[in-house]
Structure 1
Amino acid sequence: MSLVRFLARPMLASSFVLAGVDKLRNADDTVEQLSPLLRRAADALPFQTDEKVLARVIGGTQVGAGVLFATGKAARLSASLLAVISALNAFVEWRSADISSKEGRDARRTQLLKNVTLTGGVLLASVDTAGKPSLAWRAEHLAADARKTASHLASDARKTTGKKLHKADKAVRKAVDHAVGA
């Protein structure tokens, strides 16, 4: 892992870990903020669950994904989870912000900018391959190599089979000529 990744991942993840811990500690506040979304999520689940439990799950997911991302374990997956959570936070904070005063509107814009910036950062991290080719690139090149190998094998088979057929044809003709001519 490069020095930049070693330093940047924990720096970026710290905001998510602290926010997740806060969501776990203050689940009631989280439920109040996320109430419309949690209600929909609870209704969509096949089993009965409390909104407070879902708020804690979101907080726990945020802490877990943040820690995994900070340590570089499953970094792309955890960054993707953090991007979804960050976008959710941006939406919820945008809708619930106080816009009755100029200061409230300024705070709303600043908070939105922070959330969009964090989302952009973890989106970039979710596609970072750490200098290694992505799975799509590897699959594409593996398929190209397989096609080349199959083409070469088919060409060799045609050449070998063609030569053997020509030899067999010659031997049969010679045998026929020998049998007829004798």
Structure 2
Amino acid sequence: MSAVRFLARPLLASSFIIAGADKLKNADDTAEQLSPVLRRAADALPVRIEERTLARAVGATQLGAGVLYALGKAPRFSATLLAITSALNTFVEWRTADISSPEGRAARRAALLKNLSLGGGVLLASVDTAGRPSLAWRAQHLAADTAKASRRQLARADKSLHRAERAVRSAARDAVETASGVLA
């Protein structure tokens, strides 16, 4: 892991870890704040789950994914989870912000920019391969390399076949000449 990744991952994850811990600690407030979104999610699930439980699940996801990302464990997966929770936080904070005063509107805009920046950071992190090719790239290049090797093997087999044909013709000519000499 490069020094930049070693430093950047915990820095980026710290905001999510603290927010996730806060959501877990204050599950009632989180459920109230996330209520419109959680109500829809709870209604979409096949089993009945309380909004408070879903709020805890969001907080635990944010906390767990943040810790995993900070430690560099499953960084792409954890960054994807953080991007999802970041989008949720952005929506909820934008929707519930106080806009009755110019200061409130400025705070709402600042919070939006902060959340969008964090979301952009974790989106980049979710596609970062840390200098190693992704599985899709590896599979694509493996298929191309296999096709190339197969073409080479077919070309070699074709050359061997031509040599064998020439050898058989030559042997047949020699046999005909020998037979002609014997019969003559």
Aligned to 2:131: 131
The aligned residue for residue 122 of structure 2 is: 122
Superposition CA RMSD, Å:
1.7
- Paired with 2:116 and 2:89, the residues of 1 have a C-alpha distance of 10
TM-score (norm 1): 0.92
Compute the displacement of 1:89 (Å): 0.5
Alignment of 1:1-182 (within 5 A): 1-172=1-172, 174-175=174-175, 182=183
After superposition, what is the alpha-carbon deviation per residue over 1:54-85, rounded to whole angstroms, capped at 9, x for unaligned? 11111111011000000001111111110111
* Deviation for aligned residue 1:148: 1.4
d(CA) in 2 for partners of 1:81 and 1:89? Answer: 12
Q: Which runs of 5+ in 2 are unaligned?
A: none
Secondary structure of 1:31's match? Answer: helix
> Which blocks of at least 5 consecutive residues in structure 1 are unaligned?
none
TM, length-normalised to structure 2: 0.91
Q: Give the C-alpha shift of residue 7 in structure 1.
A: 1.3
SS in 1 for 2:34: helix
- Residue by residue over 1:23-72, the C-alpha shift from the partner in whole angstroms, topping out at 9 and shown as x without a partner, is 11111111111111111111111222111111111111101100000000
Corresponding pairs, count: 182
Letter in 2 for 1:101: S
In the TM superposition, residue 13 of structure 1 has moved relative to its aligned partner by 0.6
> 1:95 Cα deviation (Å)?
1.0
Q: Distance in 2 between matches of 1:134 and 1:41?
A: 32
Query: Aligned AA for 2:78?
Result: S
Q: In 1, distance between residues paired with 2:165 and 2:38?
A: 74
Measure, in 2, the Cα distance between the counterparts of 1:175 and 1:40. Answer: 88
- 2:9 & 2:126 partners in 1: Cα distance? 11
